[in-house]
Structure 1
Amino acid sequence: MIMGGKNIHVPIPKDNGMVADLGCGPATWTMDMATELTSVNFVGVDISPIYPQAIHPRNCNFYKEDILNGISQPDKTFDVVYQRNVSIGFTAENWRRSIQEAYRLLKPGGWFESVESDVSVQEAGPFTNMCFENMRLSMAPRNIDPSIVRSLDRLMVSAGFVDVQVKEYCVPLGEWGGKMGQLWKQNVMSVLETVKPHLAKAGRITESQVSDMVQNMAKETQEYRSYQTIYVTLGRKPVS
């Protein structure tokens, strides 16, 4: 919905194309794409084997591997490498390794696509700002700076990618944005509920205080018409 019905922005060869999903998680994207493009082969990789291990499209294969240590697929294997929603777990060095691994895996002329949401909330109210400031503080001890998603294009250029471009999508946070805003708000609230102990520790407050803060945030997003930004960063491996 956010990206106008697109599941991907870069071209995929329709006959015997090869696509890697690095950090595939439960593999929702991978299986959606494999179902849509039955003549393309998809490989999902994740350090945690939460992807389907028995029932999945025939043109999907999954591997439990750590992309930061290099995966077992050979050099120049894939036409497209895709990655989404890894920013809250990646340090700057992790990003460099991941982008270098994508470059290694791609055939000459192949494309890398990264899709990440910015933790920052625009037009945020005071409780929203407190929630996300505590989230940033909770990431700091692990050397994670979520704002790096705004500069992935520079990291791609440094890794050797060409034709690098960034597409930005503004996502409404709250009921003011209709169905999309409601769904995005549900997503954000679920994340905040999951990380509540970390927010409490980072802000030196109780989990009950975090709950109050999140509830107040849920109310004020409508008044402030808050939104977040998703960055789609694309880059192509040179042909020669």
Structure 2
Amino acid sequence: INGRNYANIENTVYHMPCDTLEMDRRLDAEHYMIRQVTGTNAFAPIEKMTRCIDIGTGSGIWVLEMASENPQGQFLGVDIMPPHVSELKPPNCRFERGNLLEGLAYSDNTFDYVHHRCLNTAMPETAWQAYVDNCARICAPGGWVEMVETTGMLWNVAGYGERFNSWMHQLANPQGIDLFVADRVAELLQRAHLGDIRTHQYMLPVGAWAGAQGELGWQSVSGLVNTLAPFLEQNVGVSPAEVAKLLKGLKAEVAARRSYLQLKIYCARKPTK
């Protein structure tokens, strides 16, 4: 579509491309933005990582970095379209195909670290509790589940940012997607009988006002708009010219108003008994 490659897969509400522009630019920019702001790739207080899974791994960059930083552990990245990574990848990581809407095809108590990042657009609101229950099921007793989510909108904006937020919701709502699921993750973890829930919140800056971090934020946001442009035209009636106008105005607006995204991180431990 418009020169981009999309996966033709049934039973999914996730419609992002699976090409190098998506993997190497937008998703990697998102990863580096989060890492620069938070200063880490992992929040769960795990002393020794042995069996780790990253659900919705995207470009696989989190798995690659974690495998390099923790050579004693085994890291698995799962995605509806697994990434094409270099043959030089660390020997302690691998990637598999998997559709989280069809469950997680792993035995109970398999992983001591279950991780995901930014899956708020990957499944409808009605699927979240079953998904979190599955994460708890495959987590080993004493292990940790970590979920990293944004709240699905730009904050501290005016006209262009409000229009961006409106477009995102007009795309998400018909598919039953809750862009604010980040606000409910703690409740979902509790219902999955996980405990010791720890939360962290960060502001992810977007725009030139925040230097290199803000530039990464802008790359992520503008990349998202360009990625969704065909669907905005088809489902919301937004023309390519309107998308271009929004991006031009939004770039200036986020810089002037010091706009940001909200990041929420939840870690929960599976009881040993």
TM-score normalised to the size of structure 2? 0.82
**Letter of the aligned partner of 2:105 in structure 1?**
S
Mapping for residues 10-159 of structure 1, pairs under 5 Å: 10-14=44-48, 17-52=50-85, 54-159=87-192
CA drift at 1:54? 4.4
In 1, the alpha carbon distance for the partners of 2:47 and 2:101 equals 27
Structure 1 runs (4+) greater than 4 angstroms displaced: none
In 2, the alpha carbon distance for the partners of 1:134 and 1:67 equals 26
In 2, the alpha carbon distance for the partners of 1:178 and 1:116 equals 23
CA RMSD of aligned residues (A): 1.7
Question: Are residues 1:229 and 2:262 paired?
Answer: yes
Contact 2:38–2:202 (CA under 8 A) maintained in structure 1: no
TM-score normalised to the size of structure 1? 0.93
Going from structure 1 to structure 2, the CA distance change for 1:53 and 1:69 (only over 3 Å counts) comes to farther
**Letter of the aligned partner of 2:59 in structure 1?**
P
* Corresponding pairs, count: 239
Tell me which of 36, 39, 54 is aligned to 1:5: 39
Question: Are residues 1:217 and 2:250 paired?
Answer: yes
CA drift at 1:207? 1.9
In 2, the alpha carbon distance for the partners of 1:216 and 1:200 equals 19
In structure 1, the gaps of 5 or more residues are none
CA drift at 1:146? 0.6
In 2, the alpha carbon distance for the partners of 1:68 and 1:218 equals 35
Contact 1:85–1:116 (CA under 8 A) maintained in structure 2: yes
In 2, the alpha carbon distance for the partners of 1:68 and 1:236 equals 23
Contact 1:68–1:94 (CA under 8 A) maintained in structure 2: yes
**Letter of the aligned partner of 1:46 in structure 2?**
D
In structure 2, the gaps of 5 or more residues are 1-34
Contact 2:76–2:95 (CA under 8 A) maintained in structure 1: yes
Contact 1:2–1:169 (CA under 8 A) maintained in structure 2: no
Identity among equivalent pairs (%)? 28
In 1, the alpha carbon distance for the partners of 2:196 and 2:37 equals 20
**Letter of the aligned partner of 1:8 in structure 2?**
A
